[in-house]
């Protein structure tokens, strides 16, 4: 999503996830959900609110617009966000959530999980103490195929659905290969962090979607760690091992690096690019025809929707259920050259 240092800090978060997975540690329209835990009387309208905001990493280009939008909504509603920056460390985030719960200072907590299942027990504890909790961006629980809350009493679950990203990516790849009459269509697949639950879910859905066209063959794999620089190296390695590669697919940051690798190898226009993220870089690439397509994410919308749901829970005692921030986007959030002008980037890439 940015420079090497920022990209490697990101996931977001994810380099830390990979380490956890390897060690075996366990620590993006609304659907209705009205379950709420017993809690003290809701604060009177207009009374100042104090909300803990647990970010996975403040200093990255994906999270920055999310936090800015969240703070704007809070300011408009007489609420203050206390930001806890885990800086990609899930153990730090776990401790921060413990501290926020035990401090007694916050009527609400917004969590952006680094490792979703690892926070479930603490979120349940917070809810049992009458603290409103809203989950944002990443899935809080084991099922990565739904935006429905997986913790009883959660006030809202504002997330994209990983398996839907994988399905849309797979469909775009099939379309791209067919548009060029490629048989076989030799695909290079860029994971972000292969061991993470997010990548497992996206890749699984991608594989099911591409199975519809037997001409699509994944012949090379790499990891970008959400970094253009790391993506550049990964794609260079792919091209060396598979000079006849037809297409590269991955997150926007990885594809940005892939585009650089194609330029260096004099293969611009010879290898199709498909990404996900709807960053400014991706939308520009799709609009120009340099990228075939992209699958949208909307971090600023997530921040806005999460705080809006939190204010609703605190002021009115009402839960908002599952909220998919990309559900109302054109074409289900699938960006092509024909509709790229209908999308607005919410982060730079």
Is 109 in contact with 52 (CB distance < 8 Å)?
yes
Per residue in 216-233, pLDDT (tens digit) is: 999 999 999 888 999 999
Digit-coded pLDDT (tens) for 118-167: 999 999 999 999 999 999 999 999 999 999 999 999 999 999 999 999 99
Q: What's the confidence (pLDDT) of residue 45? A: 56
Q: How far apart are CA 252 and CA 258, in angstroms?
A: 9
Query: Is the separation of the CB atoms in 95 and 326 below 8 Å?
Result: no
The pLDDT-based confidence of 43 (bands split at 50, 70, 90) is: low
Which residues sit opposite 216 in a β-bridge?
Answer: 185
Rounded to whole angstroms, the Cα distance separating 73 from 94 reads: 26
The pLDDT score that the predictor gives to residue 267 is: 96
Question: How much is the average pLDDT of 254-274?
Answer: 96
Q: Give the pLDDT score at 201.
A: 95
pLDDT band, very low/low/confident/very high, at 5 (cuts 50, 70, 90): very low
Query: What mean pLDDT do residues 263-270 have?
Result: 96
State residue 83's pLDDT score. 98
Q: What's the confidence (pLDDT) of residue 65? A: 94
The reported pLDDT for the residue numbered 195 is: 87
| Angstrom distance (rounded) from CA 147 to CA 161 | 6
The whole-chain average pLDDT of the chain stands at 88
Q: Which residue has the higher pLDDT, 16 or 92?
A: 92
Task: Please check whether residue 46 is in contact with residue 16, taking contact to mean a CB–CB distance below 8 angstroms.
Answer: no
pTM of the model: 0.83
Between 255 and 16, the more confident residue is 255
Mean pLDDT of the region 73-85: 97
- Domains along the chain? 29-159+299-325 (3.40.50.2300), 163-296+332-342 (3.40.50.2300)
pLDDT at residue 59 is higher than 90: no
- φ and ψ of 71, to 5 deg: -65, -35
Assign 203 a pLDDT band (cuts: 50, 70, 90).
very high
Q: Residue 60: pLDDT band by 50, 70, 90 thresholds?
A: confident
């Amino acid at each position: 999503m940015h420079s090497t240092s920022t990209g490697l800090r990101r996931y977001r978060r994810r380099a830390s996830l990979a380490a956890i997975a390897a060690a075996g540690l366990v620590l993006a329209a609304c659907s209705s959900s009205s379950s709420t835990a017993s809690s003290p009387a809701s604060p009177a309208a207009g009374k100042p609110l104090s909300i803990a905001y647990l970010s996975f990493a403040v200093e990255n280009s994906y999270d920055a617009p999310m936090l800015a939008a969240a703070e704007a909504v809070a300011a408009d509603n007489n609420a203050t966000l206390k930001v806890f920056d885990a800086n990609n460390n899930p153990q730090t985030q776990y401790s921060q959530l413990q501290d926020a719960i035990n401090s007694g200072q916050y009527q609400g907590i917004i969590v952006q999980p680094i490792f979703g299942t690892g926070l479930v027990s603490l979120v349940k504890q917070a809810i049992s103490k009458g603290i409103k909790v809203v989950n944002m961006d990443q899935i809080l629980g084991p099922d990565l195929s739904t935006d429905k809350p997986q913790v009883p009493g959660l006030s809202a679950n504002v997330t994209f659905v990983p398996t839907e990203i994988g399905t849309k990516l797979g469909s775009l790849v099939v379309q791209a290969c067919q548009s060029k009459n490629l048989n076989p269509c030799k695909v290079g697949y860029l994971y972000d962090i292969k061991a993470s639950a997010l990548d497992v879910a996206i890749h699984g859905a991608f594989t099911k979607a591409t199975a519809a066209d037997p001409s699509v063959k994944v012949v090379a794999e790499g990891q970008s760690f959400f970094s253009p620089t790391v993506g550049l190296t990964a794609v260079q390695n792919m091209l060396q091992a598979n000079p006849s590669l037809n297409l590269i697919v991955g997150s926007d940051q990885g594809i940005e690096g892939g585009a650089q690798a194609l330029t260096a190898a004099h293969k611009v226009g010879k290898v199709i690019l498909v990404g996900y993220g709807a960053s400014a870089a991706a939308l520009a690439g799709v609009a120009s025809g340099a990228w075939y397509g992209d699958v949208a994410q909307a971090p600023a919308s997530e921040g806005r929707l999460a705080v809006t749901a939190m204010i609703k829970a605190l002021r009115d005692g009402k839960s908002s259920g599952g909220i998919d921030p990309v559900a109302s986007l054109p074409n289900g959030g699938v960006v092509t050259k024909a509709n790229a002008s209908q999308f607005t980037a919410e982060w730079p890439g």
